[in-house]
A and B are shown apart, each in its own frame.
Chain A
Amino acid sequence: DGGITQSPKYLFRKEGQNVTLSCEQNLNHDAMYWYRQDPGQGLRLIYYSQIVNDFQKGDIAEGYSVSREKKESFPLTVTSAQKNPTAFYLCASSIDRQETQYFGPGTRLLVL
């Protein structure tokens, strides 16, 4: 069953804690992305990667970090520097940057 998966579905973060959100795809897509979605706002790009071992900052990269060691995986770490992390996080992938993006089911991050 091909697709893009995210885990966990819900994640709780304590003050000062780093947390990592998982994103895996078996679509053989080169490009992967992380978006943040807040109520009443459009999706905002955090980071994107066009190829393994390469990634670029999006519009709201501060307080986040990523890695792209494998084509299939693009984990996002929400660091303690991100002061307002509560949001719905969406991972997506596409054949390349100009093609349709396919989204995962999302991870909802809540701060305790």
Chain B
Amino acid sequence: KNQVEQSPQSLIILEGKNCTLQCNYTVSPFSNLRWYKQDTGRGPVSLTIMTFSENTKSNGRYTATLDADTKQSSLHITASQLSDSASYICVVGLSGYSTLTFGKGTMLLVSP
């Protein structure tokens, strides 16, 4: 069964600190992996997308990594800001199919 597991479920960090969110997947055949940021009560916004051949992708203070061999991805947030408080969702696409598998998300709270 295709699954995407994210950890931790929730996280609280102090403003200015760094953090890393984890995503493990069992989706096969793998096509791509995306990280989205979802503010409370709003639609998700794409942060990064990586294909099988890419192992890192940055978007400002957000850096995503992908290890396709171990089927793991991480999202590293540097110098966190209050506006980073949101849910971060890992999404995996299947090769040859149009289906996406969504993780449940990690809820991040950045505290002043």
Contact = CB atoms under 8 A, between A and B. Distances in A.
Interface of A: 4, 6, 40-45, 48, 50, 88, 90, 92, 97-98, 100-106, 108
Nearest to B102: A42
Contacts of B101: 42
B43 A104 contact: yes
Given A88-B41, A106-B41, 19 more contacts: A4-B43, A41-B104, A42-B103, A43-B44, A43-B102, A44-B102, A45-B99, A50-B98, A90-B43, A92-B43, A98-B93, A100-B46, A100-B49, A101-B46, A101-B100, A102-B46, A103-B43, A103-B45, A104-B43
A41 B73 CA distance: 19
B16 to A, nearest CB: 29
A92 B93 CA distance: 15
Contacts of A98: 31, 93, 98
Interface in B36-55: 36, 41-46, 49
Given A42-B89, A43-B102, A50-B98, A100 B4 contact: no
Interface in B45-99: 45-46, 49, 89, 93, 98-99
A105 B43 CA distance: 5
Given A40-B104, A41-B104, A42-B4, A97 B46 contact: no
A42 B27 CA distance: 15
Select the residue from A6, A50, A101 with max chain B CB neighbours within 10 A. Answer: A101
Interface string B17-42: 00000000000000100101000011
Contact of B43 (A40, A41, A48, A106): A106
Select the residue from A41, A88, A90, A103 with max chain B CB neighbours within 10 A. Answer: A103
A96 B72 CA distance: 26
